[in-house]
Amino acid sequence: MTDSLAAAFVIGVAFGWTLERAGLGNAPKLARQFYLTDLTVFKVMFSALVTAMLGAFWLGRLGVIDLSTVYFPETFIVPQLLGGLIFGLGFVVCGLCPGTSCVSAATGRGDGVAAVAGIFMGIVIAGLAAPGLEPFFSSTARDVFTLPDVFSLPYGVVVLAVVVLALSGFAIAERLEVRA
Amino acid sequence: MTWKAPRPYANPYVAGVCLGLVLLGAYAVAGRGLGASGGFAAAGAGRWNDWVFVELAGVVAGGLMSSILARRWQLTIDRGAGVSSSARLFSAAGGGFAMGVGAVFARGCTSGQALTGGALLSVGSWLFIAGAFGSAYAFAWPVRKFWR
């Protein structure tokens, strides 16, 4: 229990440290992602996603980690799509997300503190409304449902497709930044 | 003592690979990925020994240490050049509120869904990524004054 919380804190320190180093504690920098003049958010997110995806795939295949013991987020199609749409509106207005707002606040930024307060209020108020909305929140449930399941393709093929997609995205991102 | 300029930010691909290794370490050591909105929810419920809350406290500590060492810690309000401080505080809080609601609907945010579930190829996480980025781009033009 205490060991697991110590690990949580250490993992969090590394997470916050990397976000700050990448410049993701700076809201105007993040927001430039959505005006296509600075694609740091996309580059950091997708190189992180690809690294963790390849690591999980290969370490799982080599038997170093047992992926069946890793918690997989469950899929709820409509609530997660709608949640994403609401989240995206907040993201472009605020310029920070819940993780980066904590970094922004920790680095002395008042807008980061305001964002943290707003996110907290949104989560608490939506959480209070949650019992009434429970039928909706639990609708279109698919349990653990992955892209290989959707496309009926082997895990490795989807991993390769995501890598190709990310590399193409990086190439486009570099061109957009040169133009901007 | 001479004033030294803040250090430049890290290369985004290098920072991204490091972040990916942190996420991979979390899968391997803790059997779960990263989170942020879950920590806010735990704080709201007074669950101070919640795993994600403790991890989020680590995020604050890590961001603080990194910014001090890189000479980037500063009491300021980051905003568009033509935006007043008070307008920026309102937009940050208002946008934050919408993200909080969205994260409750989606059962996670950019950390717990997009990164953690995205790397595990969860369908719901990819729908969240598509919804969040699609919506942010759709609203970017109407809210462009917030960043000028």
Give the ipTM of the model, two decimals please. Answer: 0.96
DSSP B80: -
Same-domain check for residues B71 and B85: no
Query: For residue A176, which amino acid is it?
Result: L
Of B42, B75, B108, the residue that ends a domain is: B75
Same-domain check for residues B34 and B62: yes
pLDDT value of position B4: 85
Q: Is A180 on the interface with B (CB under 8 A)?
A: no
Domain around B138: 80-148
Same-domain check for residues B100 and B61: no
Of B37, B57, B75, the residue that ends a domain is: B75
Chain A environment of B10 (Cβ under 8 Å): 21-23
Same-domain check for residues B110 and B69: no
Q: Is B87 on the interface with A (CB under 8 A)?
A: no
Q: Is B142 on the interface with A (CB under 8 A)?
A: no
Q: Measured between CB atoms, which of A84, A120, A142 is closest to B40?
A: A120
What does the pLDDT profile of chain B (148 residues) look like in tens digits? 567 899 999 999 999 999 999 999 999 999 999 999 999 999 999 999 999 999 999 999 999 999 999 999 999 999 999 999 999 999 999 999 999 999 999 999 999 999 999 999 999 999 999 999 999 999 999 999 999 9
Same-domain check for residues B64 and B130: no
pLDDT value of position B8: 96
Chain A environment of B144 (Cβ under 8 Å): 35
Residues A42-56, buried b or exposed e (16+ Cβ, 10 A)?
bbbbbbbbbbbbbbb
Query: Two tokens at A175?
Result: 């061109």
Q: Is the pLDDT of residue A1 over 70?
A: no
pLDDT value of position A170: 98
pLDDT value of position B36: 97
- A 140-169 → B contacts, CB under 8 A: 142, 144-150, 155, 158-159, 162
Same-domain check for residues B33 and B69: yes
- Band (pLDDT 50/70/90 cuts) for residue A130 is confident
Percentage of the residues of chain A whose pLDDT score is greater than 70: 99
Chain A environment of B105 (Cβ under 8 Å): 79-80, 82-83, 86, 126, 137
Q: What average pLDDT does this structure show over A51-73?
A: 95
Same-domain check for residues B50 and B118: no
- Band (pLDDT 50/70/90 cuts) for residue A56 is very high
Q: What is the pTM of this model?
A: 0.96
pLDDT value of position B2: 62
- Band (pLDDT 50/70/90 cuts) for residue A179 is confident
Same-domain check for residues B56 and B89: no
Q: Is the pLDDT of residue A17 over 60?
A: yes
Distance CA A38, CA A43 (A): 10
- Specify the number of domains making up chain B: 2
Same-domain check for residues B8 and B56: yes
DSSP A71-132: PPPPEEHHHHHHHHHHHHHHHHHHS--HHHHHHHHHTTBHHHHHHHHHHHHHHHHHHHHHHH
Distance from CA of B1 to the nearest CA of A (A): 23
